[in-house]
């Protein structure tokens, strides 16, 4: 196993993400036997980091993780959990919610604790005086219940830079979606640079983009087989990350024993991709992308009468074209109405200014449609609010 030093701790570079455990489709119960078997294999293979959240698997992840870790001494592994600021119905008793996570996770401290899913929308909650989340979590840290404090992030580069600057010195690591497709698609490269510029380590989630990069289309799979016969598609995705020195942790949401075995093999020793392999991988990523070739040059911005952040909207558009999900809708939910794609008056100024010849008005009209028709964070949030209300015995 590759280990990385983090403030004197020896962390396995492969961490176990506990958000995708197999569940009974009828009852929603986690297949605990499988979790136990996967944990045994992972721990025997050197994994010592387990990452969950209050919200994963409708609140069932923490308990299943705790059950799977029962046979092992608490000091033999590191636990990471997250505060669900993006899922609460209003200001709540933050400490009580934190304590529920501790209790479900079978522990009295978290080695790593994160603000969950900071975006343009949720940042208003996380920084609100009324919600009082950050000061409460810092108090948990002072009391030793949080050893290391960080946040997971799904927003844009500008917010990341601003958030880190506003809270310089507070956070110790940042968890981002990073893989060879999102390296350009979701600007993971720029985010990696921002985080490391602030002197922090990068934690990676979605290294295989929810399994997409572990099961490539046949033609792409064949290209990789020519490079390294017998290697899994997932191993290339992980080896891409092994070439990035500031990555302290790679979380894989494993849900089958063969995935655990394959990942352990990939993390036995460091084997970053060679130049030829990188070239092939980037070409595969380009093939997977849908949408428009916006480079983020911002030439279109000064002339926009509505002062829209066009490259930001196009980045969201491109991500939607690859995969529509509720968390993407949060990035638009976070914008004031006058900055949303519906505010585009279709004047066409931007297209004239664009060196890439992008038909921006058409893309924004389509983005508006996708946003309105796709999965909505506001809908998903309602059931999450119910969960928090139940757990805290809140009324209303
Ligand atoms: S077409 Fe839309 S995005 Fe482009 S300049 Fe006009 S208002 Fe702005
Ligand atoms: S000018 Fe074109 S490439 Fe540049 S930011 Fe605007 S849309 Fe993107």
Percent helix, strand and coil across the chain, each to the nearest 5: 50, 15, 40
| Residues 99 and 12 placed together within one structural domain of the fold | yes
Q: Which two tokens stand for residue 289?
A: 């992308």
| Residues 277 and 136 placed together within one structural domain of the fold | yes
Q: Determine whether the shortest distance from the Cβ of 356 to ligand 2 is under 6 A.
A: yes
**Residue 152 included in any domain:** yes
Check residue 384 and give its pLDDT.
84
Partnered with residue 146 across adjacent β-strands are: 110
| Residues 192 and 221 placed together within one structural domain of the fold | yes
| Residues 38 and 156 placed together within one structural domain of the fold | yes
Pick the residue whose CA is nearest to atom 5 on ligand 1.
304
CATH code, domain with 268? 3.20.20.100
**Residue 131 included in any domain:** yes
Domain count, the chain: 2
Q: Which of 223, 247, 282 is the last residue in one of the domains?
A: 282
330 CA to centre of ligand 2 in angstroms = 23
pLDDT in tens, 26-82: 888 999 999 999 999 999 999 999 999 998 988 999 999 999 999 999 999 999 999
Burial of 337 (0-12, 13-18, 19+ CB in 10 A): exposed
| Residues 54 and 134 placed together within one structural domain of the fold | yes
HSE-CB at 324 with a 13 A cutoff on CA atoms is 11
| Residues 65 and 142 placed together within one structural domain of the fold | yes
Q: Determine whether the shortest distance from the Cβ of 165 to ligand 2 is under 6 A.
A: no
Check residue 80 and give its pLDDT.
98
The parent domain of residue 330 ranges over 292-396
Q: Which two tokens stand for residue 250?
A: 């790679």
Q: Which of 282, 313, 345 is the last residue in one of the domains?
A: 282
Q: Which of 248, 282, 316 is the last residue in one of the domains?
A: 282
**Dihedral over Cα of 52, 58, 62, 64: its sign:** negative
**Residue 73 included in any domain:** yes
| Residues 228 and 319 placed together within one structural domain of the fold | no
| Residues 208 and 341 placed together within one structural domain of the fold | no
Q: pLDDT digit of tens for each residue in the chain (396 aa)?
A: 999 999 999 999 999 999 999 998 888 899 999 999 999 999 999 999 999 999 898 899 999 999 999 999 999 999 999 999 988 989 999 999 999 999 999 999 999 999 999 998 899 999 999 999 999 999 999 999 999 999 999 999 999 999 999 999 999 999 999 999 999 988 999 999 999 999 999 999 999 988 889 999 899 999 999 999 999 999 999 999 999 999 999 999 999 999 999 999 999 999 999 999 999 999 999 988 888 888 888 989 989 999 999 999 999 998 888 877 777 788 898 899 999 999 999 999 999 988 788 999 999 999 999 998 877 777 778 888 888 998 888 755
220 CA to centre of ligand 2 in angstroms = 29
Angle ∠(295,176,23) on CA atoms, nearest 5: 125
CATH code, domain with 393? 1.10.1060
Say how many Å lie between the first and final Cα of the chain, rounded. 49
**Residue 112 included in any domain:** yes
| Residues 216 and 181 placed together within one structural domain of the fold | yes
**Residue 111 included in any domain:** yes
Instruction: Show the ligand 1 pocket: residues with CB < 6 angstroms.
Output: 303-306, 308, 310, 344-350, 360-361, 364
92 CA to centre of ligand 2 in angstroms = 42
Pick the residue whose CA is nearest to atom 8 on ligand 2.
294
| Residues 333 and 263 placed together within one structural domain of the fold | no
**Which ligand has the nearest atom to the CA of 354?**
2
Q: Which two tokens stand for residue 59?
A: 């609140």
Pick the residue whose CA is nearest to atom 2 on ligand 2.
354
Pick the residue whose CA is nearest to atom 7 on ligand 1.
344
**Residue 50 included in any domain:** yes
Alpha helices by DSSP H, 202-291: 218-227, 233-242, 257-266, 275-288
**Residue 287 included in any domain:** no
Q: Determine whether the shortest distance from the Cβ of 294 to ligand 2 is under 6 A.
A: yes
| Residues 145 and 266 placed together within one structural domain of the fold | yes
Q: Determine whether the shortest distance from the Cβ of 43 to ligand 2 is under 6 A.
A: no
Alpha carbon 266 to its chain centroid, in Å, reads 21
**Which ligand has the nearest atom to the CA of 350?**
1
Check residue 148 and give its pLDDT.
98
Atom of ligand 2 nearest to the CA of 295: 3
| Residues 37 and 113 placed together within one structural domain of the fold | yes
**Residue 48 included in any domain:** yes
Instruction: Identify whether the C-beta of residue 35 lies closer than 8 Å to the C-beta of residue 67.
Output: yes
Alpha carbon distance 342, 328 (integer Å): 16
């Amino acid at each position: 196993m590759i280990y990385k030093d983090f403030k004197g701790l020896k962390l396995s570079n492969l961490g176990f993400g506990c958000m995708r455990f197999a569940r009974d489709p009828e009852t929603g119960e986690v297949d605990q036997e499988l979790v136990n078997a996967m944990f045994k294999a992972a721990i025997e293979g050197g994994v010592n980091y387990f990452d969950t959240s209050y919200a994963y698997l409708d609140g069932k992840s923490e308990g299943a993780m705790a059950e799977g870790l029962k046979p092992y001494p608490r000091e033999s592994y590191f636990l990471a959990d997250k505060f669900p600021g993006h899922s609460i119905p209003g200001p709540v008793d933050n400490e009580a919610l934190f304590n529920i996570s501790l209790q479900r996770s079978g522990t009295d401290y978290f080695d790593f604790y994160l603000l969950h899913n900071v975006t343009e929308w949720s940042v208003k909650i996380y920084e609100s005086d009324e919600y009082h989340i950050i000061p409460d979590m810092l108090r948990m840290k002072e009391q030793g219940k949080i050893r290391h404090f960080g946040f997971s992030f799904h927003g844009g580069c500008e917010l990341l830079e601003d958030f880190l600057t506003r809270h310089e010195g507070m956070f110790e690591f940042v968890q981002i979606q990073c893989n060879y497709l999102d390296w350009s698609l979701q600007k993971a490269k720029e985010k990696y640079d921002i985080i490391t510029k602030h002197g922090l380590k990068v934690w990676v989630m979605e290294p295989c983009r929810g399994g997409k990069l572990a099961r490539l289309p046949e033609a792409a799979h064949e290209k990789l087989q020519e490079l390294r016969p017998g290697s899994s598609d997932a191993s290339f995705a992980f080896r891409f990350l092994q070439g990035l020195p500031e990555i302290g942790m790679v979380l894989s949401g494993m849900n089958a024993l063969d995935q655990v075995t394959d990942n352990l093999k990939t993390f036995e020793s460091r084997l970053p991709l060679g130049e030829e392999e990188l070239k092939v991988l980037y070409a595969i990523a380009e093939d997977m992308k849908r949408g428009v070739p916006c480079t983020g040059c911002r030439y279109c911005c000064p002339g926009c009468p509505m002062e829209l952040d066009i490259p930001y909207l196009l980045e969201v558009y491109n991500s939607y074209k690859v995969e529509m999900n509720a968390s993407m809708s949060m990035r638009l939910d976070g914008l004031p109405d006058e900055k949303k794609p519906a505010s585009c008056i279709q004047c066409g100024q931007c297209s004239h200014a664009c060196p890439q010849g992008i038909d921006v008005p058409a893309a924004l009209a389509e983005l508006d449609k996708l946003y309105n028709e796709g999965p909505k964070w506001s809908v998903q949030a309602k059931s999450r609010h119910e969960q928090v209300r139940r757990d805290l015995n809140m009324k209303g």
